[in-house]
Amino acid sequence: NAGVTQTPKFRILKIGQSMTLQCTQDMNHNYMYWYRQDPGMGLKLIYYSVGAGITDKGEVPNGYNVSRSTTEDFPLRLELAAPSQTSVYFCASSYSEESYEQYFGPGTRLTVT
C-alpha cells in the first residue's frame, strides 16, 4: 500500500492564481482531512470528509474548496491564491472518527508571492 499520497510536493503561485492540491489514499478509509501547518503553529483543519459525496468545513475553510467524488480522492482547491495561504498542506485519512490514528501524506509546501 502506498498509504496517503499528495501532489505536488512544492509549488510557487502568484497572487490571484488558482491550483488544486491532489490527495489519494489506498487504505479504503472513509474519513479524509486537509490541514495546514504554519511555522510555530499547530495543525489547523481546513476541510474534512466522512465519505464520498460528503464534505464539511473545519476551523479555517475560507479561501478553499474541496470535493469527494470517490473514496480514494480528496482534492483541495485554492481559487484566488493570497500570501496568507503560504503554508505546508497535509492530507490525512482514517478509517473512522473514533480511529486511534490518522495517516498523513508527505505534504505540499506552497508559497504565494
Partner 1 sequence: GQNIDQPTEMTATEGAIVQINCTYQTSGFNGLFWYQQHAGEAPTFLSYNVLDGLEEKGRFSSFLSRSKGYSYLLLKELQMKDSASYLCAVRDSNYQLIWGAGTKLIIKP
Residues that bind partner 1 (CB under 8 A): 40-45, 48, 58-59, 90, 97-98, 100-107
Closest CA to 37 of 104, 76, 88: 88
Closest CA to 3 of 21, 30, 24, 33: 24
Q: C-beta of 33: minimal distance to partner 1 in Å?
A: 8
Q: C-beta of 16: minimal distance to partner 1 in Å?
A: 28
Which residue number, 10 or 18, has a Cβ lying nearer to partner 1?
10
Q: C-beta of 49: minimal distance to partner 1 in Å?
A: 13
Q: C-beta of 85: minimal distance to partner 1 in Å?
A: 19
Closest CA to 30 of 77, 75, 68, 57: 68
Judge whether 91 and 6 are in contact, CB under 8 Å: yes
Pairing relationship of beta strands 108-112 and 10-13 according to DSSP bridges: parallel
Which residue number, 19 or 43, has a Cβ lying nearer to partner 1?
43
Which residue number, 14 or 40, has a Cβ lying nearer to partner 1?
40
